Amino acid sequence: MLASASPQRRAILEQLGVAFEVVPARIEEARAGEPEAVAVDNAARKARAVARQAEAAAGAVVLGADTVVALEERILPKPADAAEARRWLEALSDRVHRVVGGLCAIDEGGERSAVAVTEVAFRPLSAADVEWYLATDEWRERAGGYAIQGRGAALVVGIRGDYLNVVGLPVPALLELLPDLLA
């Protein structure tokens, strides 16, 4: 069970050929703290919420996931509006930031967590670049205010680490957490 309504996470699992059911977790996500801890805690709270709902589904694996964008130690959550998205994009311009993917799996064996970190470098963004991107509306519901798999790719000059972590689900960390997932 995927404890997330994220279409990106769904698409990644489908791409891998994994059978799963979507059961979105309805939790309030933490937005402050040490980025790695926040991502793992949010993922665990999502997984626990769905695991409690799904107690009847014996043998099921519940996967919680969370993505945090961090500029130094400051978390840039999903922007509340275009003005906040503008501030996030301006702050990320010509800088390297971290995308932290937190995972938590709950099954009959207990609860396990993992974290993945990808560094993303933005190119210098002009005011026109920022306004162009804001007009796409891709910033909505996106940690850090951008989507690398869409037009947000035009903002990025390079990455170091797992690209799919930036999209929303760190596959190497997932397979380390659930080694039998593809069996």
For position 160, which CATH number holds? Answer: 3.90.950.10
Hey, how many other C-beta atoms are within 10 angstroms of the C-beta on 35?
24
On whether residue 88 sits in a domain, the answer given is yes
On whether residue 1 sits in a domain, the answer given is no
Residue of 41, 66, 107, 162 with catalytic role: 66
User: In the predicted model, is pLDDT for residue 55 greater than 80?
Assistant: no
Highest mean pLDDT among 2-16, 51-65, 87-101: 87-101
On whether residue 153 sits in a domain, the answer given is yes
Mean per-residue pLDDT for 85-95? Answer: 97
**Residue span of the structural domain in which 24 resides:** 7-177
Q: How confident is the model at residue 28 (pLDDT cuts 50, 70, 90)?
A: confident
Residue 25 corresponds to which tokens in the numbers above? Answer: 């977790």
On whether residue 182 sits in a domain, the answer given is no
User: In the predicted model, is pLDDT for residue 57 greater than 80?
Assistant: no
- Examine the residue annotation and report whether 66 is marked as an active-site residue of this protein: yes
On whether residue 2 sits in a domain, the answer given is no
Per the structure, the count of domains in the chain is 1
On whether residue 103 sits in a domain, the answer given is yes
Instruction: Please tell me the pTM assigned to this model.
Output: 0.92
Contacts of range 50-58, beta carbons closer than 8 Å, 24 or more positions apart: 50/1, 50/3, 50/23, 50/25, 51/3, 51/106, 53/23, 54/1, 54/23, 57/1, 58/108
